Structure 1
């Protein structure tokens, strides 16, 4: 990768985002609205058996899940538009490399994710009194990493879609199974053996585990660092694979 070209790519993507008000609203406003909905669903549920309040448990996990889902959707469609409009084909005739392009997207949307995670966390902690044993700053960092995971998988899946509708169709294949098996609905160690084995290779499982660790312990644990390493590795691997499979056009 060329640092100058990478920086130029990041700037171009950020300028595109700035002028797309609907996408900005989706990235920043929608997670806060969904957290508001969760608060009115679970805010009155008391803590039982020494466990955190239900809202605290659900909202903490959703602070990581919402960025993952939203960024997957936004980036898969954004990259597909680059191909269908012919922009990608023109860009790749310049010194711009595929890794410059993909990592530029990752960094740009990572910066957007930092804003998204900060706003959503501010709403959760200071408006709805979310309580966690660990630091809110660590929750924000994990949320940004989860968003980057969504970006990387979205860019990878966009290489196999020819239309925006096909890009959206990857959500039931890539996103929903991870949501079902990440431990959000059933603890992973309580699943059938083969389901737990599948869960163990899905990166979102480790993202949820990391957030759970922050919710339970005031200081970072060895399990937390392991989980973050796995998620970060999945992000890099997905971006490299996306660069290897990137096509200039959708036709």
Structure 2
């Protein structure tokens, strides 16, 4: 049988693009999910601004408390929101039978999950862009570095949330079970990422745990942008670690995804 070299890659990527397009159309037709992705993080940033609006800045600190906390939240909020939406949406795909039907086709699991991941990652990029626009343009969030680096870190962190959401959905049987993974996967990262207490001041065993959590590196990368006028090697290293977590989570999700029969 003769195979045209130019058509082989296109045929290989067709299921991936078809899955990505289908999920994007579903998101476009779901106003509540769009509001959750685009509006909620921006509203929470505004709320955070008013919480710290009258908090005095210590003389020794170059940034206000809102600048410090708000910078970290630009990485935390996309991660949390995209994890929750992805886990629930994937479980909804399973409960509706769509995912089961797709798993009976020759499409590769990694291609299937890559399609889901790409669609939600595009939504995550829009979310990070809106949140950063509100923070820097409306709320005057101050940073020594370029806000563009903040957007990049927020997007990569949101993609990591998408990948972990896909992984969590592989172990959930209902949407409620998908939500139950929030305190298991997300809450420890919120406590140990350096938002509440600098990671260097944590007890040794908690610092060791924080060293293997992706959100810790996202917050560290954002802190690098907040305090340095140019991109640093530490920022790129932390960003690469977060991206590595996303790739590993996506591969694990593909390995654990299987068809379930009633």
If the TM-score is normalised by the length of the shorter chain, which range does it land in? over 0.9
Following superposition, the deviation at residue 174 of structure 1 comes to 0.4
1:250, CA displacement in angstroms? 7.3
Q: Aligned pair 1:21/2:21, yes or no?
A: no
Unmatched segments (≥5 aa) in structure 1: none
SS in structure 1 at match of 2:250: helix
Match of 1:138 in 2: 149
Residue-pair matches, total = 251
Q: Does 1:85 align with 2:76?
A: no
Q: Deviations over 1:222-243 (max 9, x none)?
A: 1101101110000000000000
Contact 1:133/1:218 (<8 A) preserved: yes
**Is this contact kept in 2: 1:210–1:228, CA < 8 A?**
yes
2:69 matches 1:58: yes
CA distance in 2, matches of 1:13, 1:233: 24
Q: Structure 1 CA distance, aligned partners of 2:192 and 2:39? A: 27
Name the residue aligned to 2:41.
31
Over aligned residue pairs, what C-alpha RMSD do you find? 1.3
Q: CA deviation at 1:9?
A: 1.3
Match of 1:105 among 92, 116, 120: 116
Among residues 70, 73, 82, which one is paired with 2:84 in the alignment? Answer: 73
Q: Between 198-207 and 4-13, report the one with greater CA deviation.
A: 4-13
Residue pair 1:86, 1:249 contacting (<8 A) in 2 also: no
Structure 2 length-normalised TM:
0.93
Q: Which stretches of structure 1, 4 residues or longer, exceed 6 Å deviation after superposition?
A: none
Deviation at 1:68, TM superposition (A): 0.4
Contact 1:71 1:147 (C-alpha < 8 Å) held by counterparts:
yes
**Offset at residue 45 of structure 1 (A):** 2.3
Hey, what's the Cα distance between the residues in 1 that align with 2:86 and 2:258? Answer: 15
Deviation at 1:4, TM superposition (A): 2.2
Does residue 150 of structure 2 align to residue 150 of structure 1? no
List alignment gaps of at least 5 residues for structure 2: 1-8
Determine if contact 2:144/2:227 at 8 Å carries over to the other structure.
Answer: yes
